């Protein structure tokens, strides 16, 4: 059930006693009075009758959407404004999708499931977001980008993409919660000094001096503009694959940008998505920690023994542009997104008959090659020892006599054999290891058939925030603020467990923000 059809889970957080007013009517051309539509190519409102062009920011129209949304607390109860009541929503009787439109935009099928069983009704709850990223290109361009992407997939089913299918592509604004937050990480991990036996041997060294110990550290970072779609009908993986969006192009919401497009209402607020949101933020926090060595030769974080605290959060409610397409093939429904800002195409594509078997066979053969290379590498590592062990048996008396009579030639032959052994036991294994790594990476890569992986932390790491990272293992007592270990200054690494840092909760914190306080890190 959408949030619009039930009582809000929290009350009293949003004061709508003096809401911003706006008109749900389409904009009219000041010249001829016809409807205006937003043109993506010119980023302006255009009149289809007289050809007039107008800037949405400066168009003088009483009762427009020009007022920015007041600051909102998204944990709270949201009431319906009087002007929103004049908007309409299209509801699919098949999948339940609810789409907001202006009163002059009509639809004959559902953008999500393709069903013609849709009804139009009055909007039932407040819709207006804070920000929007306008569409950067029109439907024809989106169709062209999708065709180009499909042309790079050699084994799509025949006639999978036709003009009739592409005609159903729909311009859709997706409701999105954009979250920024400072992150305090009380980190536990295993630090190591020296080289392991494998890494030492790979470096051509035959001795290894390595030890490990449990350490405790503190990391402070900030994650910026991490998006979470608030629409249940849209698969999270599909929307995540469409990232990244350039949030520097966010503009205050104005109704003009919706002219001719659909806009989804959100089904979930941040509080409803607590685990999903903090799981992704924890994943990014852990990625950062994995790239910090704290002065050791190696460091492996232990998320099960670590805690995170999210504070000074900022939440924006925005509409993000996508071109959405649903294709049915052999009883299965495939959904696709063309990022309406960047043009990136995302979605899972089916295989033509027989091609899936071929693709699997190629992957299986590559995996066998990796296994064979690994076995060969192990054999080559042992080659020098094997040669030394059997050298006494292999050296014939005549060879020994030759070495005595021709010492220089024998030395040259010995050096040549040594170089060959060095190449076979040291350099060749390195080459094979590099080939293995490339093959494994290739096996793990997504191809044009599959959804892209979720963006890594580099996309959302706030480089302007002064990051901190330091070890606190021997400094629990002396820290003014941080972990406390009582009066005990020496302890066993394996049994010591510092207490989590304590904070005074801000009484103004929302329920969602409180969920981010003192969390055990989620992997």
- Amino acid 483: pLDDT: 39
Give DSSP secondary structure letters for 103-120. TT---SS-TTT--S-EEE
Instruction: Return the pLDDT at 493.
Output: 39
CA-based end-to-end distance of the chain? 29
Query: What does the alpha-carbon distance between residue 227 and residue 374 come to, in Å, rounded to a whole number?
Result: 41
Complete DSSP assignment for 435-455: HHHHHHHHHHS--TTSPPPPP
Per-residue model confidence (pLDDT) at position 59: 60
Tokens of 453: 């992986």
Which of 309, 310, 311, 307 minimizes the C-alpha distance to 188? 307
Taking the C-alpha atoms of residue 154 and residue 123, their distance in angstroms, rounded to an integer, is 45
Tokens matching residue 291: 């790239």
- Cβ atoms of residues 209 and 378 within 8 Å: no
What is the rounded distance in angstroms from the CA atom of residue 475 to the CA atom of residue 471? 8
- 118 with 154: CB under 8 angstroms? no
Task: Looking at 47-160, list the stretches that DSSP marks H as alpha helix, in order from N- to C-terminal side.
Answer: 139-151
Phi and psi at 231, nearest 5°, equal: -110, 120
Can you give the pLDDT at residue 459? Answer: 93
Cα–Cα distance list, 269 to 84, 98, 238, 273, 276 (Å):
19, 16, 19, 7, 12
Question: What is the per-residue pLDDT for 183?
Answer: 93
b/e for 96-133, b at 16 or more Cβ within 10 A? ebbbbbbeebeeebbbbbbeeebeeeebbbbbbbbbbb
Contact of 448 with 149, CB cutoff 8 Å: yes
Verify cis geometry, omega within 30 degrees of 0, for the bond prior to 214.
no
pLDDT at 329: 84
CA geometry: angle 424, 430, 434, nearest 5 deg: 135
Q: Mind listing the pLDDT tens digit of every residue in the chain (523 residues)? A: 332 233 322 323 223 233 222 222 346 566 555 566 666 666 677 776 555 666 666 564 433 222 233 334 554 445 555 555 555 666 676 666 666 655 544 444 566 666 654 445 444 456 678 899 999 999 999 999 999 999 888 778 888 888 888 988 999 899 999 999 999 999 999 888 866 555 555 555 555 556 778 888 889 999 999 999 988 888 888 999 999 999 999 999 887 788 778 888 788 888 888 999 999 999 999 999 998 888 888 889 998 888 899 989 999 999 999 999 998 888 888 899 999 999 999 998 888 776 656 666 666 766 777 677 777 777 777 777 777 666 655 566 666 677 777 778 878 887 888 788 788 777 887 787 777 777 666 655 545 556 778 888 999 999 999 888 888 776 443 333 443 434 333 334 344 444 445 555 566 677 887 888 778 887 6
Locate tokens 């060969």: which residue?
376
The per-residue pLDDT for 16 is 28
Q: What SS3 string covers 188-241?
A: EEEEEECCCHHHHHHCCCCCCCCEEEEEEEEEEEEEEEEEEECCCCCCHHHHHH
Between CA 286 and CA 303 the distance in angstroms is 7
> Exposed (0-12), middle (13-18) or buried (19+): which is 488, by Cβ within 10 Å?
exposed
C-beta of residue 149 within 8 angstroms of C-beta of residue 345? yes
The backbone torsions φ and ψ at residue 447, rounded to the nearest 5 degrees and listed phi first, read -105, -175
CB of 325 closer than 8 Å to CB of 168: yes
CA–CA distance, 212 with 207 (Å, rounded to integer): 17
Q: Give the residue among 509, 518, 510, 483 at the shortest CA–CA distance from 497.
A: 483
């Amino acid at each position: 059930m959408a949030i619009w059809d039930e009582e809000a889970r929290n009350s009293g957080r949003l004061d709508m006693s003096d809401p911003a007013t706006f008109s749900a009517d389409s904009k009219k051309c000041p010249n001829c009075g016809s409807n205006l539509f937003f043109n993506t190519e010119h980023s302006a409102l255009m009149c289809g009758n007289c050809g007039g062009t107008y800037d949405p920011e400066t168009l003088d129209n009483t009762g427009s959407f020009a007022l920015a949304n007041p600051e909102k607390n998204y944990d709270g109860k949201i009431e319906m404004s009087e002007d929103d009541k004049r908007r309409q929503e299209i509801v699919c009787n098949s999948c339940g999708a609810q789409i907001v439109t202006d009163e002059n935009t009509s639809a004959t099928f559902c953008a999500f499931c393709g069903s013609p069983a849709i009804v139009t009704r009055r909007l039932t709850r407040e819709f207006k977001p804070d920000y929007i990223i306008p569409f950067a290109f029109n439907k024809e361009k989106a169709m062209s980008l999708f065709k180009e992407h499909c042309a790079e997939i050699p084994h799509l089913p025949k006639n999978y993409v036709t003009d009739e299918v592409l005609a159903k592509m729909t311009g859709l604004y997706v409701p999105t919660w954009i979250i920024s937050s400072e992150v305090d990480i009380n980190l536990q991990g295993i630090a190591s000094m020296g080289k392991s036996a494998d890494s030492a041997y790979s470096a051509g060294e035959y001795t290894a001096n390595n030890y490990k110990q449990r350490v405790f550290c503190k990391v402070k970072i900030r994650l910026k503009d991490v998006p979470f779609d608030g629409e249940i009908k849209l698969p999270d993986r599909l929307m995540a694959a469409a990232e990244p969006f350039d949030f520097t192009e966010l503009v205050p919401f104005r109704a003009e940008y919706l002219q001719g497009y659909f806009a989804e209402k959100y089904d979930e607020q941040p509080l409803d998505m607590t685990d999903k949101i903090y799981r992704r933020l924890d994943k990014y926090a852990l990625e950062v920690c994995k790239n910090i060595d704290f002065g050791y030769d190696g460091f492996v974080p232990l998320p099960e023994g670590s805690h995170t605290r999210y504070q000074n959060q900022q939440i924006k409610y925005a509409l993000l542009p996508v071109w959405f397409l649903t294709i049915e093939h052999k009883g299965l429904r495939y959904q696709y997104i063309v990022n309406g800002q960047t043009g990136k195409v995302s979605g899972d594509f089916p295989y033509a008959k027989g091609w899936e078997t071929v693709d699997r066979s190629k992957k299986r053969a590559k995996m066998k090659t990796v296994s064979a290379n690994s076995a060969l590498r192990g054999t080559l590592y042992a080659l020098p020892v094997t040669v030394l062990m059997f050298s006494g048996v292999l050296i014939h008396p005549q060879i020994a006599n030759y070495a005595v009579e021709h010492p220089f030639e024998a030395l040259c032959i010995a050096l040549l054999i040594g170089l060959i052994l060095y190449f076979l036991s040291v350099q060749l294994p390195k080459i094979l290891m590099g080939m293995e790594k490339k093959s494994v990476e290739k096996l793990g890569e997504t191809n044009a058939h599959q959804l892209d992986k979720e963006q890594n932390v580099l996309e959302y790491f706030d480089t302007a925030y002064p990051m901190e990272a330091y070890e606190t293992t021997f400094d629990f007592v002396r820290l003014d603020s941080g972990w406390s270990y009582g009066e005990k200054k020496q302890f066993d690494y394996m049994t010591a467990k510092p207490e989590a840092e304590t904070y005074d909760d801000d009484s103004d914190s929302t329920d969602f923000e409180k969920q981010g306080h003192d969390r055990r890190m989620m992997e």
